[in-house]
Homo-oligomer: A and B are copies of this chain.
Amino acid sequence: MIPRYSRPEMVAIWSPETKFRIWFEIEAHACDAQAALGVIPKANAEAVWKARDVTFDVARIDEIEAVTKHDVIAFLTHLAEHIGADDARFVHQGMTSSDVLDTTLNLQLVRASDLLLAGMDRVLAALKTRAMEHKDTVRIGRSHGIHAEPTTMGLTFARFYAEMARGKARLQAARAEVATGAISGAVGTFANIDPAVEEHVCKMLGLTPEPISTQVIPRDRHAMFFATLGVIASSIENIAIEIRHMQRTEVLEAEEFFSPGQKGSSAMPHKRNPVLSENLTGLARLVRMSVVPAMENVALWHERDISHSSVERAIGPDTTITLDFALHRLAGLIEKLVIYPETMLANMNKFKGLVMSQRVLLALTQAGVSREDSYRLVQRNAMKVWEKGADFKTELLADPEVTAALTPAEIEEKFDLGYHTKHVDTIFARVFGAA
């Protein structure tokens, strides 16, 4: 976790305090269930809740762990210091450390998912706003980095919106993947604990009982979770790269927002760097790097080995914290992105009218000119634009072979931008629903 790339809300989910708090809740709920089953005395179960409002002392637990060399035992020892050794006697009965650890991890991932979903909502809202705002802002569409045909800035925002909306649906599915808990004992047989305990604890925590666990919750769930985060990060990179391109000096169709007083920006106005979107590109790589180890974690030996644990200690917090930060950085970036519609038009007309050449070619063909001749006609006029900076439409109107096939009005019509934007509403309706 890198402080500068983290938000406190997400960091808090992964703090030792939160972890111990969840451990406590699992143990306390389990005691309730055990008491309901008659396995332990009701009074002892109730006594555990004396620690309901305790903020556990991380330093003290660490101190105990230094002796016991076992984190869960250290916590239980400390818990007993709060509720009394006698009342604590039945805590954790029939349970395995992994019951606590795995259920906790999943609860943390669920909470992390909720924060991430909120982050995605913010990104979606920003994209929708900007899409509506620039629905009709015409810019040149580019394939291979080369001018192709006109499109609108709104369509660009709209496609990012659609992509992020898919990402949100994926994240909701990924959240469901990890929203399970397990209290099933050393090898998952419930030999020492009734399945009813698992059911109760999961219910109280908003989780689903893992249908079949071993000592651990199966790690294909987590692999799917982190793979999903990797895809979302890649979508963030997709948006980031678009903005970086738009801000290049030669393109300059947009700029990341610079506060007026921001150092450097005004003495060298040409030197406003798209550092946020470049940073997002890097953060996407960081999120993505957890995908393969999460998949390598799936194949555990028999009923569990602990190879996955160190990996998750790292990628659990790091990946969710980084993605959470990236989503909010992205949202802010989009919200404030400065758009230059005039430059968009200027760029489109860099080679005057040439982006319409394909349309003219098609029109000639449809007017009965052979494909070869159409090519030749477009070519000879296009080269004048390309080489001498002529205006394409003017040249076409002056070419008798062209005007033999197309009337001036027909030629004129080929340069109508409305031709390219006529289905924008249709597409918007597909993406955002009917107005």
Contacts and interface: CB of A to CB of B under 8 A. Distances in A.
Contacts of A129: none
B159 A218 contact: yes
B270 A285 contact: no
Interface in A209-255: 209, 211-215, 218, 220-221, 223-224, 227-228, 230-231, 233-235, 237-238, 240-242, 244-245, 247-251
Interface in A302-358: 302-311, 313-314, 318, 322, 347, 350-351, 354-355, 357-358
A268 interface: yes
A166 B298 CA distance: 13
A84 to B, nearest CB: 15
A143 B143 CA distance: 24
Given A220-B167, A289-B292, A355-B270, A195 B250 contact: no
B68 A147 contact: no
| A contact face: mostly helix, strand, loop, or mixed | helix
Contacts of A190: 422-423, 426-427
Interface of A: 2, 4-5, 68-70, 73, 93-94, 140-151, 155, 158-159, 162-163, 166-167, 170, 173, 177, 185-192, 195, 209, 211-215, 218, 220-221, 223-224, 227-228, 230-231, 233-235, 237-238, 240-242, 244-245, 247-251, 262-264, 266-275, 278-279, 281-286, 288-293, 295-311, 313-314, 318, 322, 347, 350-351, 354-355, 357-359, 361-362, 375-376, 378-379, 382-383, 385-387, 419-424, 426-427, 430-431
